[in-house]
A and B are shown apart, each in its own frame.
Chain A
């Protein structure tokens, strides 16, 4: 039963259960629609969650709170630059990625040069990025190029395109984390920073690369989300702050760092979206929905801690 010992399996089990309960409510009528919607919305959480996972892997205290602001800025600037022209899609994506790389660099520069704890550094940074996004956006809602709008809302073989993109990104992320030297090195840093430093790992370079990676994935997600939802909105990243952390932890990644896994992010993202749609389907109000979401996060973390205790 080696599969049952994987830390990520439970998020998939939970997602499957909620999926079943939800389609039961409608007598199976909405199975395909629900599944496609779930895959689409989960894809966005998966992309930001993957970046956040790499940062959390670095160990206690490492977290990127600038993710929502980075998404907003990348989406806003890229859409403004593309100005609905299909020909400018690639440069627009390039600009989004460039914003991500820049944000990641400044984030780590603050952490390193000023010895500011990552939480505060990325928080201060997110204020600045958010302001930049407000100044660029000025309340205008520029439509994405038609080709990008079609791509992000379209299907390939019945599977949403954004889900395929997210699948590709997580596939690469899994190889990088589990099989590449870089992935093993950041896990080593997460397990013990002093030991990693003693072993001669280039700790600063690795941490810098990780913050850059996280911000870049957030920027790409912001680009896709802005195209998907027909334009960038100033609050479009807001819900992804807590979501990006929640999907990583529920997915079975150790909060203390050094022990991460990629598949769990998918399970947790599907689960989080399905819970909301299940509660909607059963007609619960916003208050009850929030309370149940919170209780579910806490129960998952309680169960997960029991599991770790048993194997220790």
Chain B
């Protein structure tokens, strides 16, 4: 019998191949990157981006979309750089409160059948405003323990890569392998059958939002650990980056079809695309545009793969 890869594996193959291709191109162009320090710099920002992408993925697994991700992570960064340093207890309470707000939002969205895009659009203003109130001018410092963790130099691989792998495995276990993960993906797949089976869709959505907020809080804290200071706009681009990362990693907008490992790989691919373009000497004017083209290219490849997958299913 011939071995045929599972649809999940096929789905994951493309983002992994894209990441590998980018990495190889970077190595060819700049051989001196191929070392501990080079990789450390390339993937330095990997952990916060991967965490924000996972947060967006959890929201997307219940068929919603979070347009406030960037401003929420910025808000968390501002709290981390100020309150978490000066008064850790109050800072931690503020972050816990923010997670509770997310859980409440998830339940309100479920109870009233509201469009998540609009609610999170409104919340993006709220988080941005709170961030400005917490930290009116750029500054602050990273809490000692965060800076220590993010500045660690593990023996085998740089902290950016090791952390991303660890996060991907943990998120995979939580979202793809635990019964909680099955429940929230079930809400995205078929809400009615989940509620007929005796689960509370309201609580499931609330829990999904709280999980997403927890990932996003971790993203903001680790980001401050790397940047050692914060400002109210520090992570605004994470909103669009996180959505693009999930899609690149094989996730879908609807139907609870997401992949945790894919999301992390997608996030790292987008991160690497930035360095790739710099090494390619793309003029700065066209850097954003080239990122858009990479996004389109990878999605075109994915369409091809999906067709192959279908053909495989039919055969």
Q: Residues of A with Cβ closer than 8 Å to B?
A: 61, 63, 65, 110, 114-117, 119-121, 123-132, 134-135, 138, 242, 245-246, 249, 255-256, 285-298, 301-302, 305-306, 309
Contact = CB atoms under 8 A, between A and B. Distances in A.
A297 B125 contact: yes
B129 A294 contact: yes
Given A294-B126, A295-B126, A305-B114, A123 B290 contact: no
A89 B303 CA distance: 43
Contacts of A242: 67, 121, 124-125
Given A134-B285, A297-B118, A124 B292 contact: yes
Interface string B288-299: 111111011001
Interface stretch (B12-20, B33-41, B177-185, B240-248): B240-248
Contacts of A132: 289
Contacts, number: 137
A289 B130 CA distance: 10
Contact of B292 (A126, A295, A296, A302): A126
B289 A128 contact: yes
B117 interface: yes
Interface of B: 65, 67, 108, 112-115, 117-119, 121-133, 136, 240, 243-244, 247, 253-254, 283, 285-293, 295-296, 299-300, 303
A298 B287 CA distance: 35
B132 A298 contact: no
A291 B292 contact: no
A301 B114 CA distance: 8
Given A116-B299, A255-B115, A291 B126 contact: yes
Contact of B247 (A65, A120, A289): A120
Contact of A293 (B125, B290, B295): B125
B117 A297 contact: no
19 contacts: A61-B254, A65-B240, A114-B300, A114-B303, A119-B253, A124-B292, A124-B296, A127-B292, A131-B292, A242-B67, A245-B118, A255-B118, A287-B131, A287-B132, A288-B129, A290-B129, A294-B126, A295-B126, A305-B114
Nearest to B63: A60
**Secondary structure type dominating chain B contacts:** helix
A135 B132 contact: no
Contacts of B303: 114-115
Nearest to B105: A298
Contacts of A289: 129
Nearest to B131: A287
Contacts of A138: 285
B118 A249 contact: yes
A245 B115 CA distance: 12
B125 A291 contact: yes
Nearest to B108: A302
Contacts of A288: 129, 133
Contacts of A302: 108, 112, 114
Contacts of A119: 65, 243, 253
Contacts of B286: 131, 134-135
B118 A301 contact: yes
Contacts of A128: 288-289, 292-293
Contacts of B133: 285, 287-288, 291
- Of the candidates A124, A125, A246, A302, the one having the most CB atoms from chain B within 10 angstroms of its own CB is A124
A302 B113 CA distance: 10
A121 B121 CA distance: 20
A11 to B, nearest CB: 14
B224 to A, nearest CB: 19
A271 to B, nearest CB: 14
B289 A131 contact: yes
B299 A120 contact: yes
A67 to B, nearest CB: 14
Given A131-B290, A134-B285, A294 B296 contact: no
B288 A130 contact: yes
B124 A294 contact: yes
B131 to A, nearest CB: 8
Contacts of A309: 112
Contact of B125 (A121, A255, A294, A305): A294
Nearest to B296: A124
Nearest to B136: A287
A303 to B, nearest CB: 10
B313 to A, nearest CB: 17
Contact of B113 (A130, A295, A305): A305
Contact of A291 (B118, B129, B244): B129
Contacts of B287: 131
Given A123-B240, A287-B133, A305-B112, A114 B299 contact: yes
Contacts of B283: 135
B247 A117 contact: yes
Given A123-B240, A128-B289, A297-B125, 9 more contacts: A123-B295, A127-B292, A135-B286, A245-B117, A249-B115, A249-B118, A287-B130, A292-B129, A305-B114
Contacts of A127: 288-289, 291-293, 295
A127 B254 CA distance: 24
Nearest to A302: B112
- Of the candidates A63, A123, A129, the one having the most CB atoms from chain B within 10 angstroms of its own CB is A123
Nearest to A306: B112
A188 to B, nearest CB: 21
- Of the candidates A126, A128, A130, A285, the one having the most CB atoms from chain B within 10 angstroms of its own CB is A128
